[in-house]
């Protein structure tokens, strides 16, 4: 009886966070520096817990252990075992995030016994003038990069991208990046919490300490080549699945709905995640119905033969493996 599952958000206080997650999405926060809401997570120490229906209180990992391929899908279970392979977040950047990058699978496995961290961003809201840092503004080599870090001139080498609602970005492992102040976004990523921070604007935490940098580890992980491969152009055609990202780690479609939507899932052999980025809807599978509003996420089991989305207006990101 794996009805559509919702989970308690796992709130993360961050130096750069704000209050939009609470104000706009009614997330449970008692600070003015809430940076992240982890919506669906199998990360050790941060495993999501069901908050709706008869399975309330069950963790995601308990469900995977008990249900296996019924929840995940056979192909997902075969490839990833019982580790949930994606991590879903909403992020509110009141200040600029640190300049950072993520290692690929091979390096992350060797150093951290972890997956790498390929990710994508969907911009839900952006203050006027807000931007992202994505990649370099020219191809550089290790020596030029290292000198810029030592001389505090790294920002001069980086590429700035202005953003607005609906803009979508794909961040390969190795690509230097940062979310800019005033950006609220949905993030879909591999299950990993490995980040190499290379510059943090010389900020200090609440105790007055500079945050740790990972200068040396980052050198073997950085892609120094300038590549214009990050901005995703996608159709926003109403009432159909619009492809956004199709990579080895997740596949994402955009649903711009103005009426009820039905989909056959019988051949998918993967769980399906729905992130509501505007409006609201009712999500129904073989075993139940759940309400979904902007800023919420629902997990649909792989064994679901079909899905019905009842709405008059909603924008939804659909994620599968």
DSSP secondary structure of 226-291: -----BPP----BTS-EEEEEETTEEEEEEEESS-EEEE-TTT-S-EEEEEEEEEEEEEETTEEEE
Could you report the per-residue pLDDT of 32-71, keeping only the tens digit for each? 999 999 999 999 999 999 999 999 999 999 999 999 999 9
Distance CA 237, CA 254 (A): 9
Residue 283 has a pLDDT of 98
Residue 205 has a pLDDT of 81
Q: What angle do CA 101, 196, 132 make, to 5 degrees?
A: 35
State the sign of the Cα–Cα–Cα–Cα dihedral 130, 134, 140, 143: positive
Residue 204 has a pLDDT of 86
Distance CA 85, CA 73 (A): 12
Q: What average pLDDT does the chain have?
A: 97
Distance CA 184, CA 32 (A): 15
Phi-psi region of 198 (alpha: psi -120 to 50; beta: other; left: phi over 0): alpha
Q: What percent of the chain has pLDDT over 70?
A: 100
Q: Fold match between 10-219 and 242-320?
A: yes
- Mean pLDDT is lowest, of 140-144, 189-193, 207-211, 297-301, for 207-211
User: What pairing do the DSSP bridges indicate for beta strands 158-162 and 131-136?
Assistant: antiparallel
| CB-CB neighbours of 210 under 10 Å | 10
Residue 297 has a pLDDT of 98
List the one residue out of 309, 310, 26 whose CA is nearest residue 318: 309
In the chain, what is the greatest distance between 2 CA atoms, to the nearest angstrom?
60
Helix (H) or strand (E) holding 67: helix 60-67
- For the entire predicted model, the pTM comes to 0.96
Q: So what's the architecture of 242-320 in CATH?
A: Sandwich (2.60)
Could you report the per-residue pLDDT of 200-241, keeping only the tens digit for each? 998 888 888 998 999 999 999 999 999 999 999 999 999 999
Domain coordinates of the chain in residue numbers?
Answer: 10-219, 242-320
Q: Would you state the structure tokens that stand for residue 194, as one six-digit string?
A: 């490995």
Task: Enumerate the active-site residues.
Answer: 197
Residue 87 · residue 191 · CB < 8 Å: yes
Supply the CATH classification number for the domain 10-219: 2.60.120.10
């Amino acid at each position: 009886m794996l009805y559509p599952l919702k989970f308690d958000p796992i709130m993360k206080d961050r130096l750069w966070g704000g209050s939009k997650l609470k104000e706009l999405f009614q997330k449970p926060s008692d600070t003015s520096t809430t940076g992240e809401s982890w919506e669906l997570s199998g990360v050790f120490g941060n495993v999501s817990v069901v908050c709706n229906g008869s399975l309330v209180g069950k963790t995601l990992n308990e469900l995977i252990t008990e249900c296996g391929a019924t929840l995940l899908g056979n192909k997902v279970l075969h490839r990833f075992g019982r580790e949930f392979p994606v991590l879903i977040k909403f992020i509110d950047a009141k200040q600029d995030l640190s300049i950072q990058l993520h290692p690929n699978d091979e390096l992350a496995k060797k150093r951290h016994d972890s997956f790498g961290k390929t990710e994508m961003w969907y911009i839900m809201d952006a203050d006027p003038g807000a931007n992202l840092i994505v990649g370099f503004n020219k191809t550089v080599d290790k020596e030029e990069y290292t000198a810029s870090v030592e001389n505090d001139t790294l920002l001069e080498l980086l590429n700035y991208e202005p953003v607005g609602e609906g803009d979508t970005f794909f961040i390969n492992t190795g690509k230097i990046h940062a979310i800019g102040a005033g950006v609220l976004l949905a993030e879909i990523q591999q299950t990993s919490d490995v980040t190499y921070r290379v510059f943090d604007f010389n900020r200090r935490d609440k105790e007055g300490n500079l945050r740790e940098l990972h200068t040396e580890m980052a050198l073997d992980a950085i892609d120094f080549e300038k590549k214009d491969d990050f901005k995703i152009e996608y159709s926003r055609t109403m009432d159909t699945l619009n492809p956004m990202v199709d990579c080895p780690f997740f596949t994402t479609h955009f649903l711009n709905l103005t009426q009820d939507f039905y989909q056959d899932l019988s051949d998918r052999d993967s769980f399906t995640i729905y992130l509501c980025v505007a409006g609201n809807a009712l999500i129904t599978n073989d075993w139940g119905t759940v309400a979904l509003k902007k800023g919420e996420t629902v997990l649909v089991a792989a064994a679901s033969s079909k899905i019905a989305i009842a709405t008059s207006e909603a924008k939804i990101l659909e994620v599968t493996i």
